[in-house]
């Protein structure tokens, strides 16, 4: 009998999937993952730029397959991390930033829009300039984020192969 009632309730009021960072709310937000994503985009662009298509005697079927496999992997990782940047920034902006914060830091809304466009452009191409622009904008976003928490920041070397810095609390 209980199962029948449960099935009836489920049929009348079906469960809907929920998609969110944290609807508890947990209050745990950090732009670090967005910065790592932007550094990864930069690194994939660098690696793709270092690839040389096989030519001449080196243009064997195996070398062509190897070249295309590497380029495909770099592209897939670059695009996934550009999307990760967009996701992380959207979650922080949408779930963390309050109306009062956006009044105190009016540059955050246009900056978020720019980051979303920058990440899309980074997905479309392979220029170091575009990847560096994305990273710089995500760093600005990180600085604003920490300012909302009244936390001083500093720029430190990422110690990643891509180079670049990340913004962290100065404490």
| Tens digits of residue pLDDT in 87-116 | 999 999 999 999 999 999 999 999 999 999
CATH of 30-53+60-169, one of 1.20.120.400, 2.60.90.10, 1.10.3720.10, 1.10.1740.10: 1.20.120.400
Q: Is the pLDDT of residue 77 over 80?
A: yes
| CB atoms near residue 160 (< 10 Å) | 14
Residue 109, both tokens: 């809304």
Tokens 């990180």 map to which residue?
Answer: 142
Non-local (6+) Cβ contacts of 108 within 8 A are: 93, 97, 101, 102, 141, 144
- Return d(Cα 121, Cα 116) in angstroms, integer: 9
Q: Is the pLDDT of residue 14 over 90?
A: no
Q: Is the pLDDT of residue 68 over 90?
A: yes
Mean pLDDT throughout 62-71? 93
Predicted confidence band of residue 18 (pLDDT cuts 50, 70, 90): very low
Q: What is the pLDDT of residue 21?
A: 53
Q: Where are the domains of the chain?
A: 30-53+60-169
pLDDT above 70 coverage of the chain, percent: 87
Q: Is the pLDDT of residue 20 over 60?
A: no
Winning range, highest mean pLDDT, from 3-7, 16-20, 146-150: 146-150
């Amino acid at each position: 009998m209980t199962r029948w009632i449960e099935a009836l309730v489920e049929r009348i009021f079906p469960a809907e999937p929920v998609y969110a960072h944290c609807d508890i709310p947990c209050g745990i937000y950090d732009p670090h993952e967005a910065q790592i994503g932007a550094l990864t985009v930069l690194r994939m662009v660098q690696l793709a730029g270092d690839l040389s298509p096989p030519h001449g005697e080196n243009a064997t079927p195996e070398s062509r397959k190897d070249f295309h496999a590497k380029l495909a992997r770099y592209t897939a990782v670059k695009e996934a991390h550009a999307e990760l940047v967009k996701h992380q920034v959207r979650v922080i902006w949408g779930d963390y930033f309050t109306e009062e914060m956006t009044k105190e830091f009016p540059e955050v809304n246009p900056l978020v829009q720019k980051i979303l466009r920058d990440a899309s452009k980074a997905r479309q191409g392979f220029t170091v300039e575009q990847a560096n622009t994305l990273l710089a904008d995500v760093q600005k976003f990180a600085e604003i984020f920490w300012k909302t928490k009244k936390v001083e920041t500093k720029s430190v070397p990422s110690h990643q192969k891509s180079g670049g810095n990340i913004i962290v609390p100065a404490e």
